[in-house]
Amino acid sequence: MNNPIHRRSFFKKSGALLSAFSIDSLFNQVHADEWNDISIQFKNWSAKELAKNEDYWAVIQQGYSASSSPVVILNNGGVSPSPIVVQQAVARFNELSNQGPSYYMWRILDQGRENLRDALANLAGSDAEEIAINRNATEALVTIIYGLDLKQGDEVIGSTQDYPNMMQAWKQRAQREGIVYKQLTFNFPIENDEEIVDAYRSAITPKTKIMHLTHVINWNGQIMPVKKIARMAHEYGLEVIIDGAHSYGLLDFKIPDLEGDYFGTSLHKYLSAPIGSGMLWVKKDKISKIWPLTCAGDPLSNDIRKFENLGTRSFPIEQGIGEALNFHNAIGTKRKEERIRYLKNYWAERTMQIPGIKIHTSFKSEYSCALAGVSLEGKTPGELSDVLMQQFKIHTTSISLENIQCVRVSPHVYTKISDLDRLVDALGKISKS
């Protein structure tokens, strides 16, 4: 890199990378021909039909280094690997940044942010002026939880099955300012929207101001009827926060159609963006009332960028999101959703036949997609996930909540059928041992 000619050509290439959405993107350089071929070949296939076609998905699997991991990785709900092109983009942006961070990062890479905002908004089906880019779902949602004006006695309704970071943030507000944080508890799986909507409705009092919802419950994969709950909550004049950590980049929906007021997500889960990337959506007319978590010249401005004043952070990670979007868009959300649901059903249906096995997740498509929980009589979730790892080299995560005790399994587009066969086989062997 010290050779000036070499450096110039690297810069030229990196310059091309800055426009990750153009024909020059790394994704196009690496995958365009092959993906063009498969997209022509499978052009008329419905997402459901294509979900079962291993020829198509084999091409996608090759885009991920994780597909050749010796350990079968089945905790993509926790955090997902990035495709190779995304890793390469981050590495190149990092190399570029380290040639002179204050110039390349702050003057060059920084210019990619507005393109990125547009592309994220395009996938979200929203106005780009409603999208802030940050580091994870926790940061996005805590920005809203701490940024809302609430006074002593004001009530917030959530559930004990929301994500711990968000529950802790609400509890901190309760402890510090005297707001009242009420939590419902559900016995999942539930295949009845009205039962869920009614539970939220029955907790509302004249003091309730906020409804905190989780789109996909991370413990067992239950998809919640957030739109119906949000609509009902608005009838009572409440505002609605949606935790979409497990839905953006997986389920085929548009954020504004959920009818919430605020939506936070990680991008390093099903979108497969670089690890440490997230996004906040705030309905346009609500932006001005939210105080930023860090700081802003005008904290009550209606410019969404006031939430991006995060100090020095990784621009390579942020700009790598662009290549993840290219990869995602080349598949298409509906196809991805149907494939991952097919993978979940594939292992869960076969596993259900094993004596002593229980599946803790609905099989109905409106109530589940990637994540499902499994348990085996006589073993705690911790014991089961330990045996899967130690004896079969299958990585999952164990869930031990008051009323959800299971091992959570979450495949991704790079997961091979042979990996899931290995899981089913392992569970069969463990059940007999």
Ligand X SMILES: Cc1ncc(COP(=O)(O)O)c(C=O)c1O
Closer of 246 and 344 to ligand X (Cβ): 246
| Of the candidate residues 47, 73, 123, 137, the single one contacting ligand X (CB under 6 A) | 137
Give the nearest distance from C-beta 431 to ligand X in angstroms: 28
Closer of 136 and 405 to ligand X (Cβ): 136
As given in the structure block, the two tokens for residue 279 are 């996004």
What are the beta bridge partners of residue 278? 134, 266
Applying CB under 6 A, the span of 47-55, 131-139, 299-307, 418-426 interacting with ligand X comes to: 131-139
**Residue 243 interacting with ligand X (CB under 6 A):** yes
Helix axes 333-352, 417-432, angle to 10 degrees: 20
As given in the structure block, the two tokens for residue 271 are 């979108």
Closer of 97 and 220 to ligand X (Cβ): 220
| Of the candidate residues 61, 97, 126, 136, the single one contacting ligand X (CB under 6 A) | 136
- Binding string to ligand X for residues 322 to 341, with x set by CB under 6 A, is what? --------------------
Restricted to residues 173-232, the positions that interact with ligand X (CB under 6 A) are 214, 218
- Binding string to ligand X for residues 252 to 271, with x set by CB under 6 A, is what? --------------x-----
Closest C-alpha to 294, from 143, 407, 168 = 143
Q: State the pairing for strand pair 405-409/397-400.
A: antiparallel
DSSP code, position 110: G
Closer of 138 and 362 to ligand X (Cβ): 138
Helix axes 26-41, 84-97, angle to 10 degrees: 170
**Is 6 exposed, middle or buried (CB count within 10 Å of its CB: 0-12, 13-18, 19+)?**
exposed
Please compute, for residue 42, the number of CA atoms within 13 A of its CA located in the half-sphere on the CB side. Answer: 23
As given in the structure block, the two tokens for residue 199 are 């539970």
Applying CB under 6 A, the span of 112-120, 241-249, 303-311, 318-326 interacting with ligand X comes to: 241-249
Give the nearest distance from C-beta 136 to ligand X in angstroms: 3
The beta strand positions in 56-207, using DSSP E, are 72-73, 131-134, 155-159, 180-184
Closer of 163 and 346 to ligand X (Cβ): 163
Helices and strands (H and E) in the chain: how many: 15, 13
| Of the candidate residues 25, 28, 134, 138, the single one contacting ligand X (CB under 6 A) | 138
As given in the structure block, the two tokens for residue 170 are 């609400």
Per the CB < 8 A criterion, the answer to whether 214 and 266 are in contact is no
- Binding string to ligand X for residues 24 to 63, with x set by CB under 6 A, is what? ----------------------------------------
Give the nearest distance from C-beta 142 to ligand X in angstroms: 9
**Residue 144 interacting with ligand X (CB under 6 A):** no
The CA distance from 331 to 352, in Å, is: 30
Restricted to residues 64-83, the positions that interact with ligand X (CB under 6 A) are 78
Q: Which stretches of the chain bind ligand X, using CB under 6 A?
A: 78, 136-138, 163, 165, 214, 218, 243, 245-246, 266
